[in-house]
Chain A
Amino acid sequence: MSEFDVIVIGAGPAGSSAAIKLAQGGMNVLLVERGDPPGTKNVSGAVLWGDELSRVVPDWERSAPIERFVTRKEVAFLTERSKIAISYSSQDLMEKKSGKIIVRGKFDQWLARKAKDAGAMLVTGITVDKLVMDDGKVIGVMQDGDVVTSDAVIVAEGANPRVLINSGLRPKLSDHDVALGIKETIKLPENVINERFNVDSKGGYASEFVLGFLEDGLLSGGFLYTNKDTVSLGIVASLDRLRANGMTHSYDIMGKFEEHPFIKNLIKDGIPDEYAAHLVPEGGLASMPELYGNGYLVAGDAAMFTFSNGMVLQGINYAITSGLLAAETILENKTKINKETLSSYVTKLRNSYVLSDLYTFNGIQNVTWSDFTQKTMPKILDSVMMSMFDERGMPKKHLMQVLTAAVKSNGMRYTDLISSGYRMMRKM
């Protein structure tokens, strides 16, 4: 007989959600986390979209450490000297509380506590080495030579999936599977944040940036989120472009972003309080490991469940939902855990937004991580805007003529623009 019904590796959003659900279902659960307390090893923007947690923690928004609710959302292109943005402010966003800005250091600790309260055994400060197999079935986990057994294991270890790699259950990551995220947390007084970002104390600003100004083939996105009295500022950089470039330090991309005149102003007089870096799953379906096997399931970032289409960046909600579905799968098959019964996990994922989004937007990386999106389009938009808004006492031209000139001056043909634009709209 196994010591535990289920061992969950990783007390992040996926692991803790799974552990809560399993414990609520009466299972004997061990939740193992290497950070002490949970959250001290994780890095994320972070905005939590959606309300999936209410399935296991009713009224969770009341007790969760939420910094602010998104009331202003922006998507912006930064060229060297300009910013072209879509800015959306809405009282409805606030009322629906769709986007919750959180600090993972606090949030993960809170969620893991909920798992403990639900009855899971929470063990922190321990790094699991690998899964233990017997006759092709996962029978538990190994740490420093010791084996702890369970009927099933949920691997929710995050974007750097060492347990899966060590267990021979996925290949090492490559440049195309993940991007490199770098983040800084900067202290600013609450009232300064409110004024500077035009939000009230509960409202928050969340913005994604396309860093079109980066030279030498580098591709990177940026983000800025307002917490209560800090600001989260960061980049997500393409590793294969960084490799091809071969002469730029990853941390200098972060440096260039924070030195950009429009960003510099937003964080003026702020006191940097933390620097952080983490891998960000970007590869979509092509990078996914086997999501289940005989005795184990994979959830959250470890399963590469993230979504980014240039307009929104999401991952925590996918982690929570996949964790809950993994728990559900085990609860439904608790008397007979094997590869066949656990395959219903994939069906559940496909019926939810988790896998259906990844299928719908399969290949989106080729659009978001392209020179057209990140470099050419911002330049064209910049030329068009400048021609429209700069008054030189000259006869005005139709938008079409302005656009034609902008396309030409950026070395493109109309047909290229139309086909690239069409591809982009279709994928997004």
Chain B
Amino acid sequence: MLNIVVMIKQVPDSSEVEIDPVKMTLNRTKARNVVNAADLNALEFALRIKDKVGANITVISMGPPMADAAIIECMARGADRGILITDRAFAGADTYPTGLTLAATIAKIGNVDIIFGGDETTDSSTGHVGPGVAEFLGIDQITYAKEVDYEDGYVIATRDLEDGDETVKVHTPVLITVLLNSNIPRHQSLRKKIDAIRKGVESWGINELGLKPDWVGLRGSPTIVRSMKAIKEPEHLHKTVPIDQIDTIIADLVSKNIIKVGGK
């Protein structure tokens, strides 16, 4: 049977996060914790493959102990197994050691055919982690996927690129990062959630993964945050103009080099 891993992250609900006006940091304390939305889209594609050909889906997440709720939610939607990668040593990790830690987890799970993840998270939006994991594992990757299908050892995915769609066919093992809103995630089920709570979430730390403290967490992170700035939204000019004057106005804007017309 296919072995699928879905990487998820528990994030503060972005609509409830406030920016601390003094420290310029995100105040996450008041926000509800949710599964990063694109990760649920990734999970849904994994579940569709399971529906089609059968698969064993393991959901993994690196985070604090309370992040087990996010994994349980994924199991309530149909995932079979949950592993929380949690250890004080992992704290403060940027995307580099996060990718390494997740890759080590997947290596330990072993014989994984397809790895899914959301394209990016709502709380940091780097998009680094998925590609990082693929590189650490040395396997192929499909990014910006908005459609995913599986057939006879191949993943067929459509990538949403700036100048058009690209459909690729890649042999497993492969890592796929999925775009937000690329499908509608199925609902949680009471039956599955009860079973998930009974089964529980496995907890793996640095020792289980055979990693060294220098490689992970803050110590293993090359990123240094020098300062944070709140960006002021630029002021927008709103003007209502009669429809028969639009051509004249566009010509005026072109002549002032504010906008360009035609060509690439």
Chain A residues in the interface with B (C-beta under 8 A): 3, 30, 32, 36-37, 40, 121, 123, 125-126, 128, 141, 143-144, 146, 148
Which residues of B (165-208) have their CB < 8 Å from a CB of A?
Answer: 187-191, 193-194, 197
Given contacts A123-B197, A141-B190, A143-B189, 8 further A-B contacts (CB under 8 A): A32-B190, A36-B32, A123-B194, A125-B76, A128-B190, A146-B189, A146-B191, A148-B190
A123/B32 in contact, CB under 8 A: no
Give 23 CB contacts A-B under 8 Å: A3-B194, A32-B190, A36-B32, A37-B32, A123-B193, A123-B194, A123-B197, A125-B76, A125-B193, A126-B76, A126-B189, A126-B190, A128-B190, A141-B190, A143-B189, A143-B190, A143-B191, A144-B190, A146-B189, A146-B191, A148-B190, A148-B191, A148-B194
Is residue B73 contacting chain A, with contact meaning CB distance below 8 A? yes
Q: Determine whether the beta carbon of A121 is less than 8 Å from that of B197.
A: yes
In angstroms, how far is the closest chain A Cβ from the Cβ of B6?
A: 18
Q: Give the residues in chain A near B197, CB-CB below 8 Å.
A: 121, 123
Q: Which residues of B contact A (CB under 8 A)?
A: 32, 73, 76, 187-191, 193-194, 197
Which residues on A sit within 8 Å (CB–CB) of B190? 32, 123, 126, 128, 141, 143-144, 146, 148
Chain A residues near B189: list those with CB within 8 A: 126, 143-144, 146
- Which of B32, B73, B187, B194 lies in contact with A144, CB distance below 8 A? B187
Bound Cα distance from A143 to B189, whole angstroms: 7
- In the complex, chain A residues whose CB is within 8 Å of the CB of B187: 144
Are B194 and A40 in contact, CB atoms less than 8 angstroms apart?
no
What is the minimal beta-carbon distance from B70 to any residue of chain A, in angstroms? 11
Chain A hits for B194, CB < 8 A? 3, 30, 121, 123, 148
CA distance A146 to B73 in the complex (A): 17
Complex alpha-carbon distance, A30 and B188, angstroms: 16
A143 to B193 alpha-carbon distance, docked (Å): 11
A148–B193 CA distance with the chains assembled, in angstroms: 11
Report the minimal beta-carbon distance from A7 to chain B, rounded to whole angstroms: 10
Minimum CB–CB distance from A273 to chain B (whole Å) comes to 11
For A126, the chain B residues whose CB sits under 8 A away are 76, 188-190, 193
List the B side residues contacting A3 at CB < 8 Å.
Answer: 194
* Residues of chain B with a CB closer than 8 A to A148's CB: 190-191, 194
Instruction: List B contacts of A37 (CB < 8 A).
Output: 32
State A146–B192 Cα separation when bound (angstroms). Answer: 10
Among B32, B187, B190, which residue has the most Cβ atoms of chain A within 10 A? B190
Bound: A32/B188 CA distance, A: 13
In the A-B complex, list the 8 residue pairs whose CB atoms are closest, starting with the nearest.
A143-B190, A146-B191, A126-B190, A123-B193, A125-B188, A144-B189, A121-B197, A148-B190
Residue on B nearest A146 in the bound complex, by CB: B191
Q: How far is the CA of A126 from the CA of B188 in the complex (A)?
A: 7
Contacts of B188 in A (CB 8 A): 125-126
A123 vs B69: C-alpha distance when bound (angstroms): 10
The CA-CA distance from A374 to B96 in the complex, in Å, is 67
Question: How long is the Cα–Cα vector from A43 to B172 in the complex, in angstroms?
Answer: 50
Q: How far is the CB of B31 from chain A (nearest CB, A)?
A: 12
Task: For the complex formed, measure the closest distance between the CB of A296 and the CB atoms of chain B, giving whole angstroms.
Answer: 17
CB <8 Å contact, B191 and A40: no
A79, B226: Cα distance in complex, Å: 60
Q: Which residues of B contact A123 (CB under 8 A)?
A: 190, 193-194, 197
Contact between B73 and A125, CB atoms less than 8 A apart: yes
Q: Measured between alpha carbons, how far is A141 from B194 in the docked complex, in Å? A: 13
CB distance from B191 to the nearest CB of A (A): 4
| Residues on the B chain within 8 Å of A141, using CB | 190
* A146 CB contacts on chain B under 8 angstroms: 189-191
The minimal Cβ–Cβ distance linking A246 to chain B, given in whole angstroms, is 36
Contacts of A32 in B (CB 8 A): 190
State the CA gap A337–B156 with chains docked (Å): 56
The distance in angstroms between the C-alpha atoms of A141 and B32, with both chains bound, is: 28
Chain B, Cβ-Cβ closest to A142: B190
A30 to B193 Cα, complex, angstroms: 11
A125 and B188 CA atoms in complex are apart in Å by 8
Asked whether B73 lies within 8 Å of A40 as measured between CB atoms, the reply is no
Interfacial chain B residues near A36, Cβ < 8 Å: 32
Among residues of B, the one whose C-beta sits closest to the C-beta of A30 is B194
Q: Give the distance to chain B from A233, nearest Cβ to Cβ, in Å.
A: 21
Separation of A346 and B197 alpha carbons in the complex (Å): 35
A36 to B194, CA, bound (A): 15
Min CB–CB distance A175 → chain B (angstroms): 33
Closest A residue by C-beta to B33: A37
B32 / chain A contacts, CB cutoff of 8 Å:
36-37, 40
